[in-house]
């Protein structure tokens, strides 16, 4: 089974994924942004992951296609990625149709959290450059649900919404595991 794991920056997605992957030893976790970054760095078009969303939509499309191709043959995957990427040109879809058709996800897992919790986590995280974000967390999370619904319709993937409450990332991880069991 393959799942795309979605959560806006600051939601705690990486932590939840870490918890879940311990209990899913047969699964490989891949970060879509990291794979894109590896290719983009080779071409010297970006230096860090927060520059990926500054690329033109056309360059992004190309990178997405190449990245998705690498995931086509894998059977058991948890893909850490985004559905609505805020860029200077507008909102770019993280999983457009042709990417969805390559990946063929069985699950779309939306990790959500309280907007104020997200705001305070972002403030604490000094490792990332996120000052360009203008979409408030509540709107961004809503937008993700719309994108998830359209991918679900195209692929038949099941949508699972998981709340990541403060100090409850283990519980969220368990829920993720449960939805992956066949
Ligand atoms: P992350 O560290 O998960 O926030 O990912 C870093 C960056 O990778 C994001 O800010 C996006 O610019 C980019 N990224 C991740 N997934 C996708 C995708 N499916 N399509 C386009 N860009 C993506
Ligand atoms: Mg992350």
Domains, the chain, with CATH or none: 2-181 (3.40.50.300)
CA 82 – ligand 1 centroid, Å: 6
CA 173 – ligand 2 centroid, Å: 15
Predicted local confidence at residue 4, as pLDDT: 98
User: Nearest C-alpha to atom 2 of ligand 1 is from which residue?
Assistant: 33
Residue 105, ligand 1, Cβ within 6 A: no
Over residues 62-117, the pLDDT tens digits come to: 999 999 999 989 999 999 999 999 999 999 999 999 999 999 999 999 999 999 99
User: Nearest C-alpha to atom 23 of ligand 1 is from which residue?
Assistant: 33
Strand ranges (DSSP E) for the chain? 2-6, 28-31, 77-81, 84-87, 90-93, 107-112, 158-163
Per-residue pLDDT at 161 exceeds 90: yes
Full-model pTM: 0.95
Contact by Cβ (8 Å): 12, 169: yes
């Amino acid at each position: 089974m393959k799942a795309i794991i979605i959560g806006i920056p600051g939601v705690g997605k990486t932590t939840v994924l870490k918890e879940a992957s311990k209990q899913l030893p047969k699964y490989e976790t891949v970060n879509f942004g990291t794979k894109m970054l590896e290719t983009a760095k080779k071409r010297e078009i970006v230096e860090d992951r927060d520059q990926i969303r500054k690329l033109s939509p056309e360059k992004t499309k190309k990178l997405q296609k190449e990245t998705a191709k690498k995931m086509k043959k894998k059977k058991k995957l948890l893909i850490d990625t985004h559905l609505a990427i805020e860029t200077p040109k507008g909102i770019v879809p993280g999983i457009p149709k042709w990417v969805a058709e390559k990946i063929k996800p069985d699950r779309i897992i939306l990790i959500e959290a309280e907007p104020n919790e997200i705001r305070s986590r972002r403030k604490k995280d000094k490792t990332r450059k996120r000052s360009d974000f203008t979409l408030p967390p509540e709107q961004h999370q809503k937008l993700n649900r719309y994108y998830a619904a359209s991918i679900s319709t195209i692929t038949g993937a099941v949508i699972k919404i998981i709340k990541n409450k403060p100090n409850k990332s283990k519980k969220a991880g368990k829920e993720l595991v449960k939805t992956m069991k066949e």
